[in-house]
Structure 1
Amino acid sequence: MKLLLHICCGPCASGVVEELCSEHEVTLFFFNPNIWPKDEYEKRADAAKKLSERLGVPIIMGNYEHENWKDAVKGLEKEKEGGSRCSVCYEYRLSGTSRKARELGFEFFATTLSISPTKSNRRINEAGMKASLGSNFVAYDFKKSYRKSVDKSSEQALYRQRYCGCEFAMRGSN
């Protein structure tokens, strides 16, 4: 099955891509307009490209739509991490992934977001199901691969960030 895999960053993807490639024809999709500031976005995009190159897995780089993303989360800036803002953020990114999957003829799409030990699988999967108009969202729970992702990204010297990317998390608004 052809799978468009939304990746939040190279390190998180490093823990699951090889396994998925043994079961599916995978293309990576880096679409993360939540990441701020722009130089942080570029570091993460570079790490995603390096991983793609090393594994020989194609990657599509989405547009950096930070202002559109800010409009989507407007009014939720002061929400706590893990709250409503995160759900809207997941939905924004997975809707973009679903659109790209339909546009390019992928029947299925998924995300690496569930690898984070601090992110709600339930919220991620709800966002993916809501976004899956015309293509099928495949819900994975990658939490057990988190340690593997830390080790692999370290072995491959991939840039590993210290926050989700959201400017409101970075600024401590939550």
Structure 2
Amino acid sequence: MLVHICCSVDSHYFLQRLREDFPNERLVGFFYDPNIHPYSEYRLRLMDVERSCRKLGVELIEGEYDYESWLNAVRGLEHEPEKGARCSVCFDRRFEVSARKARELGERRMTSTLLTSPKKSIEQLKEAGERIAAKEGVAFVTVDYRAGGGTQRQQEEAKKAKLYRQDYCGCLFGLTQQRVQQERPLAELFDPVDGRTLPGSIQERLALYEERLRLEEAGRNYRIVRHKFLNWRLLYGWVKRKKETLPSHILPYSVMKRRYTSGKVECESGGLHCFNREEVRFMTLARYNALAGTDYASLEALFSSPPAFGLELEVRQKAGLDPWDLSPLVVLEEVPEGKLEILIESETWRDVREKLVPL
């Protein structure tokens, strides 16, 4: 039986139940999910499915990540709600490819771990699966592993196996709607041009779960713990003098109540130049180098290869700002006299991140 797999949380329990109910079937996992966005999230989910299938001894095949084809298939349905017409097209697309793969492999039956997802309609999946599989001469197997406390046991299995538990279905449009309802920014889509790994980002989670695999290969025990924190993202910003944009570097957790202000530097103390608006602080590149232990010759060099995010948090504290201080801190080559204009567009929100704790 070919088993279309959407994620490890759904598949780990689902595959175990299938083995119990179909003991004579050879199960072949098929990870085909071009709807998942961004690609870093796709890689993370695939990596966790691979780990799950290794633990269960199930063969796994990866389908093509043909994201543009998926986008074309759901064009015009971007604003459909969860379980609406866009989801129907998405199921059809994935089931069509899965049914063709089952026929190609000589499998007589197929099913999907989407059936065990609490966010999906079993009836909707059953109708789509049977209709599409029949076109390829394959039978679609509908099972309900949610009933009788199945969903709770699924979550218990996921926790026991230390699986990656994503907090959105997968597609860009569902993610957008979910974050709008939560009044949270689309942090999953932030990928800094400087290449840094930001706290709470998919890149950070990807690195964490890659390290988990290394620990497991080395036979070391570990725990994955979650904690709440204040997250921050810089959308964009600039500093201008006489309409000329000055090279500037805005440090993490710089927040302005109003995104734009103008004024003058009033005083300097301990290497910090205090602006007379929005609690803005400036420091020179030389001062930044001294606090960070770096030797950047220019701000352009700092832009192209900045230090780790955590080091810049240390710079804020070494400069005299408290850990809970959200005052904007901006690095300039030199702090000029006269009127300056500043724009900082940033977001802060309460978030949760994971940490890997070796034991």
Answer yes or no: is 1:82 the counterpart of 2:87.
no
Once the two structures are TM-superposed, the CA of residue 41 in structure 1 deviates from its matched residue by 0.5
Q: Distance in 1 between matches of 2:89 and 2:124?
A: 10
Deviation sequence 1:12-44 (CA, Å, 0-9, x none): 011121221232221111101110010111111
TM-score under structure 2 length normalisation: 0.47
Q: Distance in 2 between matches of 1:123 and 1:82?
A: 8
Once the two structures are TM-superposed, the CA of residue 73 in structure 1 deviates from its matched residue by 0.5
**Equivalent residues of 1:94, 1:128 under 8 A apart:** yes
Deviation sequence 1:52-90 (CA, Å, 0-9, x none): 100111111111111111111010001111100001101
**Equivalent residues of 1:5, 1:27 under 8 A apart:** yes
**Equivalent residues of 2:5, 2:11 under 8 A apart:** yes
By percentage of residues, which structure has more strand? 2
Q: Distance in 1 between matches of 2:152 and 2:93?
A: 27
**Equivalent residues of 1:31, 1:97 under 8 A apart:** yes
Higher relative CO (CA 8 A, sep ≥ 6), structure 1 or 2?
1
Q: Distance in 2 between matches of 1:138 and 1:39?
A: 31
Once the two structures are TM-superposed, the CA of residue 160 in structure 1 deviates from its matched residue by 1.0
Q: Which residue of the other structure, out of 159, 168, 173, is the alignment partner of 2:173?
A: 168
**Equivalent residues of 2:12, 2:53 under 8 A apart:** no
Q: Distance in 1 between matches of 2:7 and 2:146?
A: 15
Q: Which residue of the other structure, out of 7, 14, 38, is the alignment partner of 1:9?
A: 7
Q: Distance in 2 between matches of 1:146 and 1:30?
A: 21
Aligned equivalent of 1:138: 141
User: Would you say how many aligned residue pairs link Structure 1 and Structure 2?
Assistant: 172
Q: Please give the residue correspondences for 1:36-47 in structure 2 after superposition, counting only pairs within 5 Å.
A: 36-47=37-48
By percentage of residues, which structure has more helix? 1
Amino acid at match of 1:148: R
Once the two structures are TM-superposed, the CA of residue 118 in structure 1 deviates from its matched residue by 2.3
Structure 1 stretches of at least 4 aligned residues deviating more than 3 Å after TM superposition: none
User: Which structure has the larger Rg?
Assistant: 2
Give the SS at the match of 1:140: coil
**Equivalent residues of 1:110, 1:139 under 8 A apart:** yes
Q: Distance in 2 between matches of 1:142 and 1:39?
A: 29
**Equivalent residues of 1:112, 1:142 under 8 A apart:** no
Q: Please give the residue correspondences for 1:3-152 in structure 2 after superposition, counting only pairs within 5 Å.
A: 3-22=1-20, 23=22, 24-132=25-133, 133=135, 134-144=137-147, 145-152=150-157
Q: Distance in 1 between matches of 2:145 and 2:94?
A: 18
Give the SS at the match of 1:59: strand
